[in-house]
Structure 1
Amino acid sequence: MVTRVPPSLLRHRIGVEPYLGDGAYGPTYGPPAEHSALVGEAVRMVRAPDGREVTSTAQIIAAPDLDCPPGSRVTLPRGRITTAISTAVHTAPGLPVPASKEVICE
């Protein structure tokens, strides 16, 4: 049974600086880390966690343990820096499908 996305399917490398919250001088981020992912760059309308409709220009599939909360800075494979809008963990316990984390970016 497959329990997580096979690394052979995660063909891109992304950089993630996890959002930690707002400080006295604006947003604060954790240390940057590089991760394997599958990146699709397509323009889509999505809902942000606060209910606003926003435009997403990149969608990422990664391992389920990726630390990338909404607000995180993400560096895409081509070098463009974007912000995570929302994340979702996909699981299907008992079924032969892989667990993954989806990150929707601005």
Structure 2
Amino acid sequence: MTAVPAWTLRHRITIEPYLGDTAYGPQYGPPVPDVPALVAFNIRTVRTREGREVTSTAQIIAGPNLECPADSRITLPDGRTTRALTVARHTAPGLPVPASTEVSCE
């Protein structure tokens, strides 16, 4: 299986992986800068892990090995900081389509 071609990932984002909640609020791992991605600024409705319908204002396509748990903090190419709502891994074993990770952001 092939990964999404690197030349299509024209944007760069920064991801601070969500580690969990503490008594002081959400805790994030160290920032991972310069992550190759393709960012689309579209408004769409998505369903969260809890089953709530929420509005996503940006969608990110990245390589299949992207480490970005839901609720991670993401800095988009335009400088806006957002939160990962859903993370979907796309694979198609045996088919000639690239594997990727899609992240919907608030």
Unaligned runs of 5+ in 2: none
1:32 paired to 2:51 = no
Over aligned residues, Cα RMSD in angstroms?
Answer: 0.8
* TM-score, scaled to structure 1: 0.96
Q: Give the 4+ runs in structure 1 shifted more than 6 A.
A: none
Unaligned runs of 5+ in 1: none
1:21-80 alpha-carbon deviations (Å, 9 max, x no partner): 001200000110120000000111111110111000000000011111100000000000
User: What is the aligned partner in structure 1 of residue 67 from structure 2?
Assistant: 67
* TM-score, scaled to structure 2: 0.96
Inter-partner Cα distance in structure 1 for 2:59 and 2:44: 9
Identity percentage over the alignment?
A: 66
Inter-partner Cα distance in structure 2 for 1:101 and 1:56: 16
Inter-partner Cα distance in structure 2 for 1:58 and 1:102: 11
Number of equivalent positions: 105
